[in-house]
Structures are given as C-alpha cells and as structure tokens.
A and B are shown apart, each in its own frame.
Chain A
Amino acid sequence: MSHTETHERSLLGFWIYLMTDLLSFGVLFATYAVLSPNTAGGPNAKELFSLPFVLIETLILLTSSFTVGLAMLAVFKQAKQQALIWFGVTFLLGLTFLGMELYEFNNLIAEGASWERSAFLSSFFTLVGTHGLHISVGLLWMAVSMVMIWKRGLTPFINSKLTRLALFWHFLDIVWIFIFTIVYLLSYV
C-alpha cells in the first residue's frame, strides 16, 4: 500500500473515532439538558456563570482552532519554522483556555458549588470536565508533536500525524460551540 493510501485510511479511521466521541458528548449533553433544572435548592446556572468570562474563553479556543489551521498550511508548504511557531501559538492559546476553565472550576468549588451539590452541577462538571480532559490530551499530543517536528523535521509520517491532531483540535472547538450555547448562553435566556 502506498503512503498516501495509508494516510487516507488512517485519516478516515480517525474521523470515525471522532464521530463516536461525538456520540459520547451527545449523551452528556442529553444528561445535562435533563438534569440542569434540578438544583436541589442550590445555586442555578444563571447565579454561577459569568458570560463575559466564558465569551473570552470561547474566542480564545476559536482563535486556536484558526491557528492550528495556519500551522497545517505551513506543514503542507514544508515550512518547519513556521509550523513550529503556529503550533506553539495554538498550544499557548489552548493552555490559556484550560487555565481559565480550571480557574472557573476552582471558584465554583470554593463557593460550595461542586459536583456534589446538585444533579445540575454533577452533569455540568461531567460535560465541561470531559471537554477539558480532551483539551488536556490534545495539548499533550501537540507538545509531543512539536518535539517530533523539531527533532525529525516534517517527514510524511509526522505530517500524517499532524493532520489528525489538527482534525482533533478543530473537533474540540465544535463541541465547545455547543457547550457555550447550551450550558452558558441558554442559562441566561
């Protein structure tokens, strides 16, 4: 099998993984939609969330989805330096996003609004936490990839891996659009 064929096949395989991952997010969204009114006398979503903070988080993740695209354009042009810079920018944006999410979680727990407080908060932490876990894995993957680019250059093998990493990162931003809309925006409607 030629290299291009192997690449195409693993890309399709990865795409199918993303689709099944989307199904698990779908179940968590359904759980959140059902349980979110059940606050057990505790704080509700509107009292807990700050929309301007989440808007900034959203725009940071969106920008990182754009910069990972720019990184891939550099990869296709075989521009190693440029690819490293754009992956570096994406990594920092992703790290900022994760930091903001952990800061929010930390504040909620300090206010006594942890996952133990109500069904609403359990489902919130499960949904948003699962997304954050994916972001953490993506960041780890990106860090390893940057070391590989730096050490070995943009070989066809590494480029194939990078295509899947970029796909994963775009996918996480798409999931976040729905967390932003359903969890945060809808709580203020």
Chain B
Amino acid sequence: MFKSYLLGFILSILLTVAAYLLVVNNMLSQGVLIIVILALAVIQLWVQLIMFLHLGQETGPRWKLISWISTASVLLIVVIGSIVIMNNLNYHVPSDQEIIENEGIHQSH
C-alpha cells in the first residue's frame, strides 16, 4: 500500500512538472502542445485513480469501475458536445455589423 501511494505521488509530480516545463519553454508547436498536455493530465488522472483511489481493486461486482466509466462517458459528451455546438453557433451567427450590411440597414450619422 505504501509503495502504491509513493509511486503515485512521484509519477504525479513528474507528470505535473513535465506539463509545466513544456508550456513555459514553449517546446512544441501549438496544436501538438495542447494535445500533449491534455494527454499528460489524463495519464495523471489514471495514475491517481489506480494508486490513490484504488480503482480496479474491487472484489465481486465492479460497481465503482462501472459507475466511473459511465460518468466519464457522460462527461466527454457534455464537455466536447458543448464546445463543438457553441463554436458552431458562434461561427454561423452573424455579427451586428454583418447583419447591418446584409440587410442594407441605413445608419444615420
């Protein structure tokens, strides 16, 4: 048990500092950097779930694991869905200036 906590702690520090250094030193191109630091966060999530929260060490029906997987799926749908839909709306809804131009609204000065 102690080994599991210690290993989880060391790995979490390494992952946190790695993400920090990558961003501060601007080591990768923007697109790659975003993916890499999000991946580092997800790896750290798994490290802590297994080593601190002892997920997957249940005996009998794996209720904790099942409820975690369903929660994670809902989270992904809500978060990614919100970002995609709102960006799409933002892209398609014209600005005030565009509406004025498209509709030929005369502005008095």
Footprint of B on A, CB under 8 Å? 12, 15-16, 19-20, 22-23, 26-27, 29-31, 33-34, 51, 55, 58-59, 62-63, 65-66, 69-70, 73, 76, 167, 170-171, 173-174, 177-178, 180-182, 185-186, 188-189
B5, A69: Cβ atoms closer than 8 Å: yes
Asked, given contacts A12-B64, A23-B71, A65-B52, whether A185 binds B82 with beta carbons under 8 Å apart, the answer is no
Give the nearest-CB partner of B34 in chain A: A189
A58 in contact with B23 given A70-B5, A185-B37 (CB within 8 Å): no
Q: Which residues of A contact B86 (CB under 8 A)?
A: 34
| CB-contact partner of B37 in A27, A70, A73, A181, under 8 A | A181
What's the Cα separation between A182 and B41 when bound, in Å? Answer: 9
B13 interfacial by beta-carbon distance below 8 Å: yes
Q: Are B67 and A185 in contact (CB under 8 A)?
A: no
- Tell me the interface secondary structure of chain B in the complex: helix
Q: Nearest chain-B residue to A62 (Cβ)?
A: B12
A-B contact pairs, 30 of them (CB 8 A): A12-B64, A20-B71, A23-B71, A26-B75, A26-B78, A30-B83, A31-B82, A33-B83, A34-B83, A34-B86, A51-B23, A55-B17, A55-B20, A59-B13, A59-B16, A62-B16, A69-B9, A70-B5, A73-B2, A170-B48, A173-B52, A174-B45, A177-B44, A177-B48, A180-B16, A180-B41, A181-B41, A186-B34, A188-B23, A189-B30
Give Cα A188–Cα B24 distance, bound, in whole angstroms: 8
Which B1-53 residues have C-beta < 8 A from chain A?
A: 1-2, 5-6, 8-9, 12-13, 16-17, 19-20, 23-24, 30, 33-34, 37-38, 40-41, 44-45, 48-49, 52-53
Instruction: Provide the residues of chain A in CB contact with B87, threshold 8 Å.
Output: 34
Q: Chain A residues near B2 (CB, 8 Å)?
A: 70, 73
Produce 1/0 per residue, B59-88, CB < 8 A to A. 000011001101100110011001100110
Please tell me the number of chain B residues within 8 Å of chain A, measured between CB atoms.
41
Main SS of chain A's interface residues? helix
Residue pair B19, A16 in contact (C-beta under 8 Å): no
Min C-beta distance of A30 to chain B, whole Å:
4
Partner of A19, one of B9, B37, B40, B71: B71
Chain A contacts for B16, CB-based, 8 A: 55, 58-59, 62, 177, 180
Report whether B48 and A167 are in contact in the complex, using a CB–CB cutoff of 8 Å: no
- Chain A residues near B13 (CB, 8 Å)? 59, 62
Does A185 lie within 8 Å of B23, measured CB to CB? yes
Residues of B within 8 A of A178 (CB): 41, 45
Residue of B nearest to A169 (CB): B52
* In the complex with contacts A30-B82, A170-B48, A170-B53, A185-B5 CB distance below 8 A: no
